[in-house]
Each structure stands twice: as structure tokens, then as C-alpha cells.
Amino acid sequence: MEYRTLGRSGLKVSAIAMGTFSFGGVGGFSKVASQGVNEARRLVDICIDGGVNLFDTANMYSLGRSEEILGEALGEKRNRVLISSKARMRIGDGPNDEGTSRYHLIRECELSLKRLGTDHIDIYFMHEWDGLTPVDEMLSALDTLMQQGKIRYIGCSNYSGWHIMKALGVADAKNLPRFVTQQIHYTLEAREAEYELLPISVDQGLGVMVWSPLAAGLLSGAFTRDRAPAESRQAAGWTEPPIRDEERLWTIVDVLEEIARNRGVSVAQVSLAWTLSRPAVSTLVVGGLSEQQFKENIAAVDLKLGEEELNRLNMASRPAYIYPYWHQHNFARDRFCPGDWALHASHEDVGMV
């Protein structure tokens, strides 16, 4: 296993993290899976044996059941690993059952600790932007939790670029805790993060955790132009991630399959290896339904793609050169910083005048 530093923190995380989205199967999460304690314990042990040291969950996954199952599955192994969890999403019918208010965050953190059976959460994510709660209230509540020893590091998830920069600006201005990481959706199929989120991560020192790095299985090799598993979350009605251009998706899968065939590895391993090669990426949060899937995904860390392979994948998948980036390419590229290159490096062969 490879261990990477999480942003500008001193924390080392495994390049593959275990996602527990499939633990519990309560409510709408039954469309994904409904793994119980015994199954979860077996998969957790496979990941620990493979060197995984980070396990990701959230208070709203199966309405807290995911946290309970993870806590039971880890048992005495808890102090050997890191746990990340999240708050912000609606978890009840009350007026304060969502958001990042001081009331909600402190209450939800304490409930998560009880469900996990632990005295602290190593990385606590704001699961989504909350435009109604003042940013300084959110950060002050997180500071309180850090001072109490209940959380170690903080991060954000599913924020836009200006949301992140606003939070970092308030943190710096008011001497409040700073995000050290962001958890985002980023794959060969979905590269929108390169416009703002990856450049911000490079520039501001945020370690990137990628959720659903195989696009809910669409980049795993199970799906092709002519084949879709009957028992998949898509078939069950799951709509994330949205696919806006199916032809582009299958073109990407075609390239993945050819590279995988030539290298004697799986499509999933090629897809994960590409994502691990990207700027600021610290870890990929990978889920799975079987021991074999986790073993295969963990092995992706050892696959290093060559320049020609990376170029082929880039050409099949790179995002459109939208404004103002094409204009910057014309007139500012001789003064780009490392953050700029997180996007622009993929477009170096684009002819601009």
C-alpha cells in the first residue's frame, strides 16, 4: 500500500480508502446494497490486511446504520485506523435536522461518536454547502469539537470553488480551523473538478479524497456499450453520477478496456490508477460488494500507467476548454502557477491563437 500526506496536514492516508456507503441498506440505500455486520467485518479485515488505514462513512448513510456497522466491524482494530464521517444532510423531519449550524453539528458529531463506538473522528467532513448558516458559525462549532478532542481534522465535500475559498478566507481572517481536505466526485467520465476544485486543492494545500472513483461501477469493466448488469444500482434506480453524454462514456470505456487488456489487468485498476495519477489526489474512497473487488481495487495502487496510456485516456475524456480558461491559455500561460496547470496541462496540445 502507498501512503500519501493529506494536503498540508501531517496525516498519512492510504491511497485506497474503504467506503461504507453499502453498509446497512436502510431506505433508499437498499438500491446500493445492504451489508450487515458479519459481511462488513470480513470486508474490513480484507482492507486492513491490504494496508488500508482510512474508513469513510457519514451520519446519513442508512440513517446512521452505516456508522454503527463500521464501529462494530472494526471493534478493537479501531485505534489502528482512521475514520472519516460527515454531517450536514437532512437526517430527520425537524427544522434543525440539517445544515451546519452550531446546534446541528455538535449534536450530530456526538451521535456519530456513539454509533461508531469511539471517542473521536479523525476527519470530519461538511457533507454539502449550507448557504443559510454563517461560515464563521460552522467553523466555530468545528473548533469547539476539535478543542474537546472529538474531531482531529476537518474537510468539506461537494463544495464549489467559491464556497471553499470563502470558508478558507473566513478561517484565516478569524483564526478558525482550516479545511485540510475536500471529498469530491472525480473520474475519467466526470472531470469538471479540474476547472476549480483541483486547482484550489493544489494552490491551497487541500488533499483530495475522491468518492465513487469508478462512477458507481460504470468504469469498473462491468458496463460496456452492449452489456449492463441486471443487478446494479443503476438498474435499481440510482441516479448518481448523472451521465450526460453516453457516447463519450463508452469511448472512455473502450480505451480503458484496450489498455487493461494490453497490461493484463482489470478495467477498474486502470481507471483507479489514472485517478491516482492526478494532481492533489490523496486517496480514493472505494466501495465494493465482494472480497475480490476490494483486493482488485487495492492492487490498483501498484499499477503505474505510462505517458502514452495517460495521453490516450486524457484525449478520450478531457473536459471542454470553457471560458475563461481558453482565454488564459492564449494570454496568461507564461505566468501560470502550479494550480493553473491542474487544468491546463491536459490541454497543452490544443491549438489556440
Please give the positions annotated as active site.
61
Say if residues 132 and 104 touch (Cβ distance below 8 Å): no
Phi and psi dihedrals of 285, rounded to 5?
A: -90, 105
- For 337, counting Cβ atoms within 10 Å of its Cβ (0-12 exposed, 13-18 middle, 19+ buried), the class is exposed
Q: Is the dihedral of CA 130, 134, 135, 137 positive or negative?
A: negative
Dihedral angle computed from the Cα positions of residues 25, 27, 30 and 31, in that order, rounded to the nearest 10 degrees? -150
Say if residues 182 and 208 touch (Cβ distance below 8 Å): yes
CA gap 46, 52 in Å, rounded: 9
C-alpha cell at 56: 469513510
CA gap 170, 62 in Å, rounded: 33
Instruction: Give the type of residue at 46.
Output: I
CA gap 40, 70 in Å, rounded: 7
- For 237, counting Cβ atoms within 10 Å of its Cβ (0-12 exposed, 13-18 middle, 19+ buried), the class is exposed
CA proximity to 131, closest of 184, 167, 87, 93: 167
CA gap 60, 145 in Å, rounded: 19
CA gap 88, 127 in Å, rounded: 5
